[in-house]
Amino acid sequence: MICSVKPSSIVITSSSDPILRKKHSNPLQISSFSPSLPIAKPQRCPISLQKPLHVSSIGNFGSLKPQEEHNLITCKAYEAERSEIEAASSPSEAAKKVKIGIYFATWWALNVVFNIYNKKVLNAYPYPWLTSTLSLACGSLMMLISWATRIAEAPKTDLEFWKTLFPVAVAHTIGHVAATVSMSKVAVSFTHIIKSGEPAFSVLVSRFLLGETFPVPVYLSLVPIIGGCALAAVTELNFNMTGFMGAMISNVAFVFRNIFSKRGMKGKSVSGMNYYACLSMLSLLILTPFAFAVEGPQMWAAGWQTALSQIGPQFIWWVAAQSVFYHLYNQVSYMSLDEISPLTFSIGNTMKRISVIVSSIIIFHTPVQPVNALGAAIAILGTFLYSQHTDG
């Protein structure tokens, strides 16, 4: 007997119940169909099918008597015709692709806007420790308001969650402030060219500190990444050591942030959006005392007056924009991580850097020599090659 079953879900019961009965959204338990699984008791085996199935070889299915309940049944499920499957799954697949496309486009656009306002602010007001703190404070405030007004549901966290988040927040804080210091000293495009070398740091840290090994092509991809970044650095017209080191430190810090994040997010029910919100709040607490120690209110106040007098009141809007857009692009990137694999994420991040490099060169009229652009292109190509051989 062959039954063709095409509901979204079905229930298989023992002989006392109907053999196949439609039911909604019970999880599929493939093991229930194991040929070696004895039916010990009249018991429901809930299954839910995403795809249409044929169920075959079920023997006495439908006519089991109580004394036969210990008999084995053989139940094989196999995929129905491919055309039927595609017809059934394509709308949700297409919807998912559209959703991810929207996430990516939003993430890159928000990031480009952040980078432009961030650089405009830093050009007029070179206090990266304060501007980094303000971006975290703004994001934290936005999320607290969202939770209080129930625009977003507040996460349920415990002490263990915050303990696990702490190393992630330390790495996030260092990576964030180091990148901002870098951008206060060099062109945005230069910071992002160096930051496109992050995969190289990921491999080196994973190999030498965590003892992980990678396929040979991954190691080979480091050659263009490191070589391209080096070429871009030595031919950068406005090279500055602090700017260069800031981007390098940011790379190392974000590698550790990603390693700790992966461990911290495993098995947790906190969404990407709320995970990033908690990360912002903890980073804010960590960064604030350091910002006071390194720069401090006196420098901030004097610089603020100068910036206001040079730029006018719109300077305040620039500060607000860099803070809001910093939170938004990070929030969307963490929301994307909920939907996509680390590999897709890392490709998306590389594409994002290309958007930022190109748009900032155009907007800020950054002088670029051909050999400098070649270095950037080689580094980015290396990052793509890297993406093809790792899970991100």
Name the residues that contact ligand 3PG, by CB under 6 A. 175-176, 179-180, 195, 254
Identify each DSSP E strand in 31-178 by its residue range.
Answer: 45-48, 53-56, 76-79
Q: How far is the CB of 252 from ligand 3PG (least distance, A)?
A: 12
State which H helix or E strand residue 85 sits in. Answer: helix 82-124
Give the shortest CB-246-to-ligand 3PG separation in angstroms. 10
Report the distance separating Cα 130 and Cα 113, nearest Å.
19
Choose between 349 and 372: whose C-beta lies nearer to ligand 3PG.
Answer: 349
Q: From its phi and psi, is residue 150 left (phi > 0), alpha (psi between -120 and 50) or beta?
A: left
User: From CA 145, how far away is CA 196, in angstroms rounded?
Assistant: 34
Q: Dump the DSSP string for 234-282.
A: HT-TT--HHHHHHHHHHHHHHHHHHHHHHHHHTT----HHHHHHHHHHH
Q: Kindly state the DSSP code that residue 67 receives in the 8-state scheme.
A: G
- Pick between residue 175 and residue 243 the one whose CB is nearest to ligand 3PG: 175
DSSP class of residue 200?
A: H
Lookup: tokens for 238: 């406005």
For 365, the token pair is: 């009229």
H or E element at residue 87:
helix 82-124
Find out whether 38 and 88 touch, Cβ atoms under 8 Å.
Answer: no
Structure tokens at 67: 């004394």
Q: In what order do the strands lie in the sheet with 2-5?
A: 2-5, 53-56, 76-79
DSSP annotation of 283 reads H
* Burial class for 140, CB neighbours closer than 10 Å (0-12, 13-18, 19+): buried
Contacts (Cβ under 8 Å, ≥6 apart) of 309: none
Give the integer Cα–Cα distance in Å for 94 and 391: 23
Q: How near is the Cβ of 115 to ligand 3PG at its closest, in Å?
A: 7
